[in-house]
Amino acid sequence: MSRLRVPHPIALLIGCILLAAIATWLLPAGRYERRHDEATGRDIVIAGTYQRVEAQPVGPFSAVVAIPRAIAAAADVIALVFLVGGAFAVIEQTGALRRAVRRLVGALKGRELLVVPVTCIAFAAGGALQNMQEEIIAFVPLLLLLVRTLGFDALTACAMSVGAAAVGSSFSPVNPFQVLIAQKLAQLPPGSGSVFRLVFLAVAIALWIWGTSRYARRIRTSPEELAIEPEERGHGARLDFILLLVVAAFVMLPVGLNVLGWGFDELSALFLIVGVTAGLIAGLGVSGTGEAFVHGFSQMAGAALLIGFAKSISVVLEDGMVLDTIVHGLATPLEGLPPAGAALAMMGVHTAIHVPVPSVSSHAVLTMPILVPLSDLLGVGRQVTVLAYQYGAGLTDLLTPTNGALMAILAAAGVRFEHWFRFVLPMFGLLLGLGAVAVVLGLRLIA
């Protein structure tokens, strides 16, 4: 019997959109009241205010209309994907990336597997510090060139990058878009419980490195040779300068996001400048640089659209007024459970909710104001309530097809979703088990 084959990601997401539309016909419409929270700068739900409202089922045509609406809403992220793809198409054409990878491979001679732990730790740090997701798309061309030259496959590149970043984000003590916003909503000191979280972060990263290294060793083939292309000959100084530009751009990523207050628009402009500059320095000319950009756009078109299609699911659920109903229905059964059972059940609730709400910050403002008062009644500490949210929601980013960034990165790397799912599912189970241990121990060890 042949293996189950998952449809193309676009088809898979369209199916999810249709299921969301069907849910608006089957589930009762309801809504929590909301208030603006100055501490987080977001509109958050008010616990105990859920009430039924008039049904607003989403019809087939309205469900399809939600797709271009979601694409428009995600325009800043989609622009980043296109411009990153265009910039790296230019840089690839100059030969600068091949030159950099050739040097790195030479330095790793006989120790090629070291690239796995080093890269995993780097991306896990990015996830822990700034919830790195969409930004990883900028690294995909370089990672693909690197892993193929070392004899690994594209899935290894995804595991070392988006997989490691998701693990870092989930177990982080300082992720501003996840744990810090949840702690604000729970009225806890920002960064509290950091030592406890750091211990489990280290264990989680070690588990991910072990799983990725095990896979990389198993599938490794003969490395590809990187021959010196004609456009590289005699242009060593120019190519080195282009590599410095690329390094400077990656240095500016965390600086811009965390220090200068940049968003996706500024990051897009940064890579546009780098791509144009690289093309002109390498002698591609205005027309050649433009053609390379267009080629890069075409390669990234599918990945960019996946982000908009994924966002359409939550748009449909919100239009149909059933998203709050789903949250209310999942949270209500927790009442009456013992503390340990309630804490573990919260992880399950967050895992389920994160499928239709794949943004960790949106997830937090939707669920934490409901679950924090409930946890007080059940005797579950607020730190443990935050832990359950971190692990349940954050780890789901590893495998839910509604995570547009994940789907876009897999598409850009040419990795089929079912191949990724088969790789990540056992690791997801191990990490979720680790999170469950942390939650149970947290009932006694952190306040």
**Cα angle for residues 206, 110, 115 (degrees, 5° grid):** 35
Query: Which pLDDT belongs to residue 229?
Result: 53
Are 169 and 235 contacting, i.e. CB atoms less than 8 angstroms apart? no
Per-residue pLDDT of 61-77, as tens digits, reads 999 999 999 999 889 88
Backbone phi, psi, residue 435, to 5°? -60, -40
Q: Is 198 exposed, middle or buried (0-12, 13-18, 19+ CB in 10 A)?
A: middle
Per-residue pLDDT of 159-211, as tens digits, reads 999 999 999 999 999 888 889 889 988 888 888 889 999 999 999 999 999 99
- Residue 432's nearest CA partner among 330, 324, 352, 323 is 352
CA distance 435 to 437: 5
- Residue 360's nearest CA partner among 127, 82, 156 is 127
Domain ranges (residues) in the chain: 9-30+60-445
**Cα angle for residues 229, 145, 220 (degrees, 5° grid):** 120
- Residue 97's nearest CA partner among 288, 239, 248, 297 is 239
Are 32 and 46 contacting, i.e. CB atoms less than 8 angstroms apart? yes
pTM, whole model, 2 decimals? Answer: 0.84
CA distance 311 to 356: 9
List, run by run, the mean pLDDT of 10-residue segments along the chain (447 residues).
67 91 95 82 83 93 94 89 88 81 75 88 88 83 87 94 95 89 88 92 97 93 60 65 85 79 87 92 90 89 86 92 91 88 94 91 90 88 94 94 91 92 96 96 85
Query: Which pLDDT belongs to residue 162?
Result: 95
